[in-house]
Amino acid sequence: MSLLSENYTLYNGVKIPKIGFGTWQISNAAVYDAVSFALKTGYRHIDTARAYGNEENVGRAVRDSKLKREEVFVTSKLPAEIKGFKEARASFEKTMRNLGFSYLDLFLIHAPWPWNDKGRDCTEGNIASWKVMEELYREGKVRAIGVSNFSVTDINAIIENCEIVPMVNQIAIYIGHLQDGLTEYCRQRNILVEAYSPLATGGILKIEAIREVAKQYGASPAQVCIRYLLQKDLLPLPKSTHPNRIAENAEVGFTIRETDMKSLDSIHQDLSHF
Ligand code: A2P
């Protein structure tokens, strides 16, 4: 059974499909076919970012599909190294030109720091960017706003200095790497946690304990990884360029029993290569 028509509801009432199609590391050339196939399969939630360099063909695939714009939930992101009022606004406009849309469903600050300077304190820049996100939201250009890769400290700075609490935090979560403290903090503030790299970019699919659980349910290891996150009320964003895998990753209507969830919880695999 596919879960593609089920939604979470953000705290502002906006519905967001429970499984999103991730497009990180899919080139602009390959993304058109991948997104077109995902939409044909029934995915209604596509996650991109200006930094992925594929917004143009994500937008084209959505526009070329027979679906109405409002039937597809699309997320994009403000690049991590772009901070500040003018810069954030200009980048949003570039994203919208790339996508060819009149509005966006969800707009995220991609990271609290530039990727080549992880951990740098950019609080001031993040606050300035967030004020732009708030303006875009109030103007109706985006239906929801959020952050990505933000820590508790980073989110607190936004909450203390701005008016709108982020609706989403998109972070790397997969079996063995749960970020429990951060997800609990988000839950308490009604911030939906989206899990990027739910398969650890493929790294966890060979773990024997996951394969064992998968066998019991007649499922694939990837399906177990995705289903596990859904049972924790997280929103997985699996990505694949292969049609059979794109379809497989949505067939996650089975239920993992509590004892198996616990054994998956106890996996602490070193995926530091990722
Ligand atoms: P491919 O794109 O060649 O199908 P993540 O979503 O954690 O970023 O993981 C994506 C990686 O996992 C990609 O390398 C993708 O390969 C692979 N992948 C995605 N779905 C499956 C699947 N159902 N079975 C095996 N590998 C998968």
CA of residue 261 to ligand 1 center, whole Å: 22
Q: At residue 272, does pLDDT exceed 70?
A: no
Residue 273's pLDDT band, with cuts at 50, 70 and 90, is: very low
Residues taking part in catalysis: 52
Q: Does 201 sit in the ligand 1 pocket, CB within 6 Å?
A: yes
Q: Which atom of ligand 1 is nearest to the CA of 223?
A: 23
Q: At residue 151, does pLDDT exceed 80?
A: yes
26-31 long-range Cβ contacts below 8 angstroms, 24+ apart:
26/52, 26/54, 26/239, 26/241, 27/53, 27/54, 28/53, 28/54, 28/56, 28/57, 29/57, 30/241, 31/57, 31/58, 31/61
Q: Which atom of ligand 1 is nearest to the CA of 236?
A: 6
Residue 203's pLDDT band, with cuts at 50, 70 and 90, is: confident
Q: Does 125 sit in the ligand 1 pocket, CB within 6 Å?
A: no
Structure tokens at 194: 């989206």
What letter represents residue 42's amino acid? Answer: G
Between CA 22 and CA 239 the distance in angstroms is 5
pLDDT in tens, 2-38: 789 999 999 999 999 999 999 999 999 999 999 999 9
> What average pLDDT does this structure show over 228-240?
98
**Substitution candidate for ligand 1 out of 199, 210, 251 with most atoms within 8 A of CB:** 199
CB-count exposure of residue 254 (10 Å: 0-12, 13-18, 19+):
middle
pTM of the model: 0.96
Q: Does 176 sit in the ligand 1 pocket, CB within 6 Å?
A: no
Q: Which atom of ligand 1 is nearest to the CA of 24?
A: 8
Q: For the chain, count helices (H), then strands (E).
A: 10, 10
Please report where in the chains the tokens 């969830």 appear, as a residue.
261
Q: Does 197 sit in the ligand 1 pocket, CB within 6 Å?
A: yes
In the chain, pLDDT over 90 holds for what percent of residues? Answer: 95
Residue 54's pLDDT band, with cuts at 50, 70 and 90, is: very high
- For 38, other C-beta atoms within 10 Å of its C-beta total 29
> What average pLDDT does this structure show over 32-49?
98
Structure tokens at 90: 């200009």
**Substitution candidate for ligand 1 out of 27, 46, 242, 251 with most atoms within 8 A of CB:** 242
- CA-closest residue to ligand 1 atom 12: 202
Give the torsion sign (CA, 77, 79, 85, 91): negative
Give the helix ranges, DSSP H, for the chain: 28-41, 55-64, 85-99, 123-138, 152-161, 180-188, 208-216, 221-231, 243-248, 258-265
Which residues, listed in sequence order, are joined to residue 7 by a DSSP beta bridge?
A: 17
